Structure 1
């Protein structure tokens, strides 16, 4: 490997880690503001003459319909790869998240190769942390569109297109549903009337919100969160490279059958 290639890979890893740290800091600041605001609100209510408790619930849980083939607890994950693959890569991601994009750029070819060879299957959990941290609806709209692509059997292709065209997180370009439909033109056969309606109607918005709530209660605090067979393999003090991922998967699969198709 040339010194230039080594430096490029090292720089990519450093950018990825830096983006994760910035996102985590933003999340901590927002949570602190929410807590402070909640305390002030409680004190204000307690000081009032009386407290009125509504007999109706604030919002309804309703029925959340998952996209076709969704798996896992409450059907909150989109599967990619062969069902019989011996190892599972669980990915919590946000399509507006720069660190998620950096992870994609560094690991996509490796992950695709492991999945295509039957060594690994993926379970993708779509969340909307950036919407919550900086405002907007791009994370939600992009995740809904990706779920619509899952219905068409083209989740992975559209997933990759979204990252290839990820705007600056401050622009929130994914909030524009027409832009998401424009990107669908890059995936042959995806932009059907059914897909277009699904994107415009926000068919899976409730499912995305439920996935986001599940992530918020999971104990993880930033995206991307990457688990191999349920164990976190990427984060603070957890260096990960494509070669390490290949090695970890090979070790986990030792002695286990690999499906041929």
Structure 2
């Protein structure tokens, strides 16, 4: 074989070797791409599953958990808790100021109002300055999973009022409020809270389980929704009833800023 032929053959061998290397590299690159895609899919799946589990855990955070009773606010001497139908009045006889407070135990804005103004309202109640008429509203009754927590908690609060434990029961429910859209507290948990607050009369559990005040609460809610004096302007032309609503002399007032001081000094 001549030199030219050997050179040609060598060139062909080198070219073939180069193609083999390129193919191997390409094959390795493809494998790396596939591995990267698989890893990405696994990571995304893990994140999705983790997110679903977290959401479900958050929504079901009340499952099998007792409602903490905490340290109930002590009502001062002479303060009377009185249920009148589905309204609970808390105050000293002859208090010069009265407000009506409409709230839903599932409403986060109601919980915020209780957090910001509840202690001051209760201080004014204890000092004899204020009577608060609490209206348990079932506006968000369909917004728990399963539906019905707003009604169950409202009925239980009225049952607690019959045992002179309304304020403590009311405060505990707002302090440990379930997530809107999630699981509320069931009747057994509501009964346990009442018992932890010192309720011993078996009638309390019977009232909670029977939903004794359910129909009255539903009727009252229909009347509240249609009361023009309780309508508020929510902006963008939206006018209607919402929670929380604070009313003085039957008419809704803006519950923002230092509204409580204005009421007490008005």
Query: Normalised by the size of structure 1, how large is the TM-score?
Result: 0.62
Gaps of 5+ in 1: 1-67, 252-261
Choose the corresponding residue for 2:112, options 102, 105, 108.
102
Gaps of 5+ in 2: 1-80, 232-240
Choose the corresponding residue for 2:157, options 146, 154, 161.
146
Contact (CA 8 Å) 1:162, 1:183: kept in 2 or not?
no
Matched, 1:115 2:125: yes
CA deviations 1:104-124 (Å, max 9, x no partner) are 000011100111111110111
Q: How many residues were matched structurally?
A: 174
Choose the corresponding residue for 1:164, options 150, 175, 182.
175
Once superposed, what is the RMSD of the aligned Cα atoms? 1.9
CA deviations 1:128-187 (Å, max 9, x no partner) are 11114567100000000000011111111111111111110111313x111112222441
Structure with more relative contact order (C-alpha pairs < 8 Å, separation 6 or more): 1
CA deviations 1:75-133 (Å, max 9, x no partner) are 44211111211111100111111110010000011100111111110111111111145
Matched, 1:248 2:263: yes
Greater percentage in strand: 2
Query: Normalised by the size of structure 2, how large is the TM-score?
Result: 0.61
Secondary structure of 2:157's partner? helix
Separation in structure 2 between the aligned mates of residue 170 and residue 134 of structure 1, nearest angstrom? 5
Contact (CA 8 Å) 2:96, 2:129: kept in 1 or not?
yes
